[in-house]
Amino acid sequence: MRYVMKEKLFSFGDDFRIQDGQGSDAYFVDGKAFTLLREKLSFQDMAGHELAFIRSRILSLRKSYEILRDGQLAAVVSKDLFTFFRCSFTVDVPGPDDLEAQGSFLDHEYTFKRGGRVVAEVSKRWFSWSDTYGVDVAEGEDDVLILASSVVIDMICHGDKDRH
Q: pLDDT tens across 78-102, in order?
A: 988 765 556 789 999 998 889 999 9
CB burial string 67-96: b at 16+ within 10 A, e below: bbbeeeebbbbbbeeeeeeebbbbbbbeee
Q: pLDDT tens across 99-155, in order?
A: 999 988 667 789 999 999 999 999 987 666 567 889 999 999 999 999 999 988 888
**DSSP notation for 19-39:** EETTS-EEEEEEEPPP-SS--
State the average pLDDT over residues 50-58. Answer: 89
Smallest CA-to-CA distance from 54 within 80, 37, 77 is with: 77
- Whether residue 162 is predicted with pLDDT greater than 50 in this model: the reply is no
Whole-angstrom distance, CA of residue 77 vs CA of residue 93: 9
Whole-angstrom distance, CA of residue 124 vs CA of residue 105: 10
Residue 61: predicted pLDDT: 66
Residue 51: predicted pLDDT: 97
Smallest CA-to-CA distance from 43 within 97, 1, 3 is with: 3
Residue 103: predicted pLDDT: 87
Residue 99: predicted pLDDT: 96
Residue 20: predicted pLDDT: 94
Burial of 57 (0-12, 13-18, 19+ CB in 10 A): middle
Q: pLDDT tens across 10-49, in order?
A: 444 567 899 998 989 999 998 765 554 567 889 999 999 9
Whole-angstrom distance, CA of residue 65 vs CA of residue 54: 7
- Domains of the chain in start order, with CATH, are 2-163 (2.40.160.200)
